[in-house]
Structure 1
Amino acid sequence: MQRYFVNPRQWDGDQILVEGDDVHHMTRVMRMRPGDRVVCCDGEGTDLLAVLEDVKGDRVLLRVLERTPSRGEPAVAVTVAQALPKGDKWEWVLQKGTELGAASFLPVLSDRSVVKLDGKKADKKRERWQKIIKEAAEQSHRGCVPPVQPVVDWDGLMQAFSVCDRVIFAYEKGGVPLNQALADGPFQSLMIVVGPEGGFTSEEAEQARTAGALPVSLGPRILRSETAPLALLSCILYSHGEMGGEPL
C-alpha cells in the first residue's frame, strides 16, 4: 500500500488534507480514486490507515480509518556523519542509509573534501537531499523522515560528538575491530564518521580521537567513501537486533 508522510497541520480530527507534490503522485502517478486506501505517517512514529474521499483540484481529502504505531524505526539512533564525497555518492548514502535505518545525516567539510559548499548553495542542496530522504523513508516504511543537518566544518563535527553515546571513526590506517567497539553496548545513540575519497589526514584522526571518537578498522579491504557508511550502519543495526541479529 502506498505510503505518504503528513504533518500535523494537514489533518483535523479524522480528516487529512494532502497538498503539494504528494497530490500529483496520488492522482497522476498512482491514479488513485475515491475509495482507494493509503497509509499516512505523522513522522513521529504513528501510521494512519486512510481512505481517499475526494479530489479537489490540487488537493486530496483523506479520512483516517485506523491508527497504529510505526514499526520501521530502530531502537538505536545512528547518525551518519560523512565528509562530502564527489558527484552523487552522498545522495546514494542518503537514500540507502535511510532505507537501512539511519536516524540522521551530518554532511562535513574536511581537509581532503573536494566538494565545497557556501551558504546559499548548501541550503539548496539540503532541500534536494531532504526530498531524497523523504522518498526513501516512504518506500522503506520508516516511521520518521531522518533530517539532514546543516553542513559543518571540522570543528562543528567535533562539537557534535557530545550528543552521542559513542562515536565510531572509520579510519583506514587502523583502529579497534568494530565488534570490539560495540562490545559494551547496546547503545541508544551512535555516530559513525566516514571520510571523503582521499580519507582523513593524520591530524584529523588525532583531533577526532582527542574529542572522544573511537578509531575503528573495517578490515583488510579499503572501502569506497559511499560504501563504508552503509557497511558500518548495517553492522551496527545487525548487532542491535534490528536486521535479524542477536541484540547485544
Structure 2
Amino acid sequence: MQRYFLEAHAELGEHYTIAQKDDVHHIKNVMRQQVGDQCIINFMNGTMVVELTDIGNEVTVRAIDQLDIQTEMPISVTIASGLLKNDKYEWMIQKATELGAHSFIPFVSERTIVKVDEKKFQKKLERFEKIVKEAAEQSYRQIVPYVQFANSGKSLVKELEVFDHVLIAYEETAKTGETKSFTEAIKHIKHGDKVCVIFGPEGGLSETEIELFGGTTVGLGPRILRAETAPLYVLSAFSFHFELQ
C-alpha cells in the first residue's frame, strides 16, 4: 500500500487534505487511485490507514485505522558530509535514508571539490529534499529526514551543540590499523540519543577540521571507504547494534 507524509496530528474518523502537487499527481496519475481506495499516511503523531474521500486538485482522506509499527532507528543519526562531486551526494542521501538516517548536513569542507554558489544552491537543496522524501516513502520510513546546509566547517560546528555524541570518520585512524574506536564509541550511545557522524568529501578531512569539530575520531575497519560509502557503513553498523541484536 502506497505511503505518504502529512505534517498534521491525526485522529481516527477525521478528514485531512493532501495538497502537495507531487503527491496529488502520484495518487491520481501514477497509482490511479479512486474514491474509496486506501493508502497509508505517516502523520506527525503516528501512521494510519486512510480512505480517499475526494480527488480533485487536492486529495481528501479520512483516517480509518491506526497502525502499530515502528520503522525508525532507536537513535537519531545525522550524517554531516562534505559535499561530493557529480551525483554521488544524491546517491548517498537516498541510500542513507533507506538505512535510517534522521537528517543530513551537507557542508563545504576545506577539500570540497564542488563549487558552491549559495544563491543557486537552494534549488539543489530542494532536489535533495525530494530525493529523501521519495526514499522515505519507498523504505516505509515514518519520518522524512531533513536537509540543512552548512557553508563551512565553522558553520557546522554551530550545529553540533544539540548532539549527545559527535563522531568523526577519519581515514588516517583506519590507516594506522586501529579497529576498536568505532566499537567503543557505540557502547556509549543509548536509545534516544542524538548522534552526528561527520565525514569528509573526496580527499577526506584536514587536520585543522578534525581539531575544529572536537568530536571522537573513529576508524571504519581495515579498508578505506569511498566518501559516499562510509556513511552507509556507519548506518548499517548502528542498525545491527541497535535493531538486530
Would you say same fold, with TM above 0.5?
Answer: yes
Is residue 186 of structure 1 aligned with residue 173 of structure 2?
no
* 1:200-221 Cα deviation digits (max 9, x unpaired): 122222333xx2x111111221
SS at match of 1:222: coil
By how many angstroms is 1:178 displaced?
A: 1.1
Separation (CA, whole Å) in 1 of partners of 2:15 and 2:223: 53
Q: How does 1:129-168 map to 2 (within 5 A)?
A: 129-168=128-167
Match of 1:228 in 2: 230
* 1:98-143 Cα deviation digits (max 9, x unpaired): 1111111001111110113232222111111111111111111111
Residue type at the aligned position of 1:92: W
Q: How does 1:40-55 map to 2 (within 5 A)?
A: 40-42=41-43, 44-55=44-55
* Counterpart contact for 1:168–1:215, Cα < 8 Å: yes
Residue type at the aligned position of 2:4: Y
Q: Which runs of 5+ in 2 are unaligned?
A: none
* 1:135-172 Cα deviation digits (max 9, x unpaired): 11111111111100123311112222221111110111
Equivalent residue for 1:200, pick from 205, 211, 215: 205
Matched-pair identity in %: 40
Q: How does 1:76-155 map to 2 (within 5 A)?
A: 76-155=75-154
* Counterpart contact for 1:81–1:106, Cα < 8 Å: yes
- Cα root mean square deviation, aligned: 2.0
Residue type at the aligned position of 2:5: F
SS at match of 2:233: helix
For these two proteins, the number of residue pairs brought into alignment is 238
Q: Which moved more, 1:171-180 or 1:107-116?
A: 171-180
* Counterpart contact for 2:97–2:135, Cα < 8 Å: yes
TM-score (structure 2 length as normaliser): 0.90
Separation (CA, whole Å) in 1 of partners of 2:39 and 2:95: 24
By how many angstroms is 1:197 displaced?
A: 0.8
* Alignment CA distance shift 1:45-1:104 (3 Å): farther
Match of 2:71 in 1: 72
Q: Which runs of 5+ in 1 are unaligned?
A: none
By how many angstroms is 1:232 displaced?
A: 0.8
* 1:51-96 Cα deviation digits (max 9, x unpaired): 112222x222222112335512221000000000111111112111
Separation (CA, whole Å) in 2 of partners of 1:72 and 1:60: 26
* Counterpart contact for 1:106–1:150, Cα < 8 Å: yes
* Counterpart contact for 1:86–1:114, Cα < 8 Å: yes
* Counterpart contact for 1:10–1:18, Cα < 8 Å: no
Residue type at the aligned position of 1:65: I
Residue type at the aligned position of 1:182: I
* Alignment CA distance shift 1:27-1:120 (3 Å): same
Match of 2:22 in 1: 21
TM-score (structure 1 length as normaliser): 0.89
* Counterpart contact for 2:80–2:106, Cα < 8 Å: yes
